[in-house]
Chains A and B, each alone.
Chain A
Amino acid sequence: MSEPLLQVEGLETTFFTKAGALKALDGVSYTIHRGEVLGIVGESGCGKSVTSYSLMGLLDHPGKVTGGRALLNGVDLLSLTEEEYQKVRAKKIAMIFQEPMTALNPVLTIGQQIDEQLFQHTDLTPAQARKHSIEMLAKVGIPSPEERYSNYPHQLSGGMRQRAMIAMALALGPEFLIADEPTTALDVTIQAQILELFQSLQKEMGMTVQFITHDLGVISEISDRVMVMYAGRSAELAPTEELFRSPRHPYTASLVRSIPVLGQRVDRLPTIEGVVPSLMERPDGCAFQNRCPYQTAECAQAVPPFTELSPGHFVACFHPLEAK
């Protein structure tokens, strides 16, 4: 295993709302190795996106990182000032967003939106920046890139917009890319194209990627390792194949069970009983206890530590399932 590029330890993010302090993230830990794709899955509101925004320093008021470390090449991102962050973003870490429709500025051309970061971070002349941007657009498979360069976002289809978004994120050759549900807003055929593009670019540029989705199918296809999150905490982290074959956390096991299998007819897909507790009423101890078939008194007393059960397989559970 190569050296870790990103080490996140005990990340804690709190939203200071009028109703009180809400811990959106309460101890998220993982590492990503150079050139690896780490998938992060979890249901809506489990803190996948908040994790990314915390790393990028893009939390909106009243959210604040309240604990933990996130070392990128040994530099703690969480201790950067806004000015220092501006030098890191796009150059070292870039991000792709979920909604290509709203994530692009409607009144600027695609070209202007790629160029502006080149001007911000490099000494390129306008002509050089234009050339580079058009090359990037061609690289992400946009046909007639010169023309698209001077188009506005609304003149592009959803898939094209997401490609432009990817070109924008990769324009400065960042070492680390965060993709926040980049395929969720697209229809299935376009999804497949974008995933394919993503994989080929990742291999070609040797990029390190944190890929966030709630789609288990997508995650199994794209990632080397997967982290499952539940209610703002890391639940399980393992190599992709191992996680799907032998989930150890009861939550992961139920998730995997609920994936429909092609060609197999069932009356009713298995579901997980109950709902995710809201951040306000997260119980003491394990957050999954009220939905868990293996729950004991111990689960309500302490938060289960995120421990390495077998090499590379981390689980936060007092009663992990047997390895298959």
Chain B
Amino acid sequence: MMSFILRRLIQTLIVIGALSFFCFYLMSLMPGDPVDMMISSNPNMTSEDVSRLRELYGLDQPVYKRYLNWVSTLAQGDLGYSRTYRVPVTEILGPRLWNTFILSGLSLIFSLLVAIPLGVFAALNQGKKLDYFINFFAFAGISLPSFWLAIVLILIFAVQIPLFPASGTMSVGTDMTSFEGFFDRIKYLILPTLSLSFMSIGSFVRFTRSSMLEAMRNDYIRTARAKGLSRSRVLIVHGFRNALLPLITVVALSFSSLFSGAVITETVFAYQGVGQLVLASIQSNDFNVAMVSFMISVSMVLTMNLVADLLYGVADPRITYV
């Protein structure tokens, strides 16, 4: 088990390394560099200034050298400096990351709480009205664009019925350590969470339904019934327990996509998350911020993959890691 984890971690590191170079290279292909941005904001700059600045920032060097420089400063724990915000990357990224983490985590928990019972319910009523009804909503959830849904939610629950704030992350000047601060956060989180959850609820319902149907078709369900077990025990211990296995992968992987996919929701709700920051940093050539965010997204996907594999080993006794 330990050697499996170790091997997987090493693999993960290699993949992260390769992807980081790929991202770095792609960024270098973008038209313009930070110095161009400076020129546009300062028309008095001479061409000597430009080449001096390029040299200063190492922008005149080939990509691989710049990449190695970046890696070596990264290895020293220095994530660099955000050119847009004029603060170190950690300072701007840290709280944003945390905000996004809260939003996507809440959304995941909420989606699972709603979707799993619905999916199981739909499977047990296969082909009946209830099944069609649940399926209809699941497909609606998958197909409705999240920006539209977000706007509708704002219109209804912030404008027509002003229950929640229309946008933002928290009220200005709230003491975050107090109880009021906590409830204030919650108030701001509810609408973004709902809008982010809708799509994952839809797909989780579909997955739960199909894996539950699959599990209930197995011979051991008949054995369980032949043993005179109660219906609920047959459903939960024998059916659902086995239906969980394929769900693990889907859920673990969807967390990472929720994390990076929160960008639309964050933009509509002006939520101070990492998605919005990445978008802005790419547009403004704020290279250090973008690279670190990429790395975080990549690590997120890989980590959740590893977590899925490990959970699989816990949930399915047939799988052992050597």
Contact = CB atoms under 8 A, between A and B. Distances in A.
Interface of A: 56, 58, 60, 82, 85-91, 94-95, 97, 99, 102-109, 116-117, 120-121, 152, 154, 165, 168
Contacts of B315: 107
B284 to A, nearest CB: 51
13 contacts: A85-B228, A87-B228, A88-B228, A90-B226, A91-B228, A102-B220, A103-B219, A103-B222, A104-B220, A104-B223, A105-B224, A120-B227, A154-B317
Given A102-B218, A106-B242, A107-B242, A116 B318 contact: no
Interface string B228-249: 1111010001100110010000
B248 to A, nearest CB: 12
A132 to B, nearest CB: 14
A56 B224 CA distance: 12
A89 B228 contact: yes
Interface residues of B, number: 23
Contact of B318 (A94, A121, A154): A154
Contact of A97 (B223, B237, B238): B223
A56 B241 CA distance: 24
Contact of A108 (B225, B226, B231, B237): B237
Given A107-B315, A108-B241, A120-B227, 6 more contacts: A89-B228, A104-B220, A107-B316, A116-B233, A117-B228, A120-B229
Contacts of A82: 231
B241 A107 contact: yes
Contacts of A56: 226
A97 B227 contact: no
Contacts of B224: 105
A120 B257 CA distance: 43
Contacts, number: 79
Contact of A105 (B226, B228, B238): B238
A201 B188 CA distance: 68
A117 B227 contact: yes
Contacts of A152: 317-318
Given A87-B228, A106-B317, A154-B318, A116 B222 contact: no
A97 B224 CA distance: 11
B230 A86 contact: yes
A58 B231 contact: no
Given A102-B218, A107-B242, A107-B315, A120 B233 contact: yes
A272 B228 CA distance: 41
Contacts of A99: 219
Contacts of A97: 219, 222-223, 226
Given A107-B315, A152-B317, A152-B318, A102 B227 contact: no
Nearest to A121: B228
A77 to B, nearest CB: 13
Contacts of B242: 105-107
Contacts of A121: 228
Interface string B36-64: 00000000000000000000000000000
A107 B312 CA distance: 11
Given A82-B231, A107-B242, A120-B233, A58 B318 contact: no
Q: Is the interface of B mostly helix, strand, loop or mixed?
A: helix
Interface in B281-318: 315-318
A109 B237 CA distance: 12
Contacts of B318: 106, 152, 154
A119 to B, nearest CB: 9
A58 B229 contact: no
Contact of B227 (A60, A90, A106): A90
A104 B230 CA distance: 17
Nearest to A171: B227
A62 to B, nearest CB: 10
Contacts of B220: 102-106
Nearest to B216: A60
Contacts of A60: 222
Contacts of A89: 225-228
Interface in B186-227: 218-220, 222-227
Nearest to B241: A107
Contacts of A58: 222, 225-226
Contacts of B317: 106-107, 109, 152, 154
A107 B220 CA distance: 11
Contacts of B229: 86, 116-117, 120
A56 to B, nearest CB: 6
A84 B245 CA distance: 32
A105 B223 contact: yes
Contacts of B228: 85-91, 117, 120-121
A60 to B, nearest CB: 8
> 10 shortest A-B CB distances, which residue pairs?
A89-B228, A102-B219, A90-B228, A117-B227, A105-B220, A152-B317, A95-B226, A103-B219, A90-B227, A103-B223
A60 B219 CA distance: 11
Contacts of B231: 82, 86
B317 to A, nearest CB: 4
A145 B270 CA distance: 63
B215 to A, nearest CB: 10
Contacts of B245: 107
A105 B224 CA distance: 8
Contacts of B223: 97, 103-105, 165, 168
Contacts of A104: 220, 223
The CB with the most chain A CB atoms within 10 A, among B219, B220, B245, is that of: B220
B312 to A, nearest CB: 11
Nearest to B244: A107
Interface string B50-90: 00000000000000000000000000000000000000000
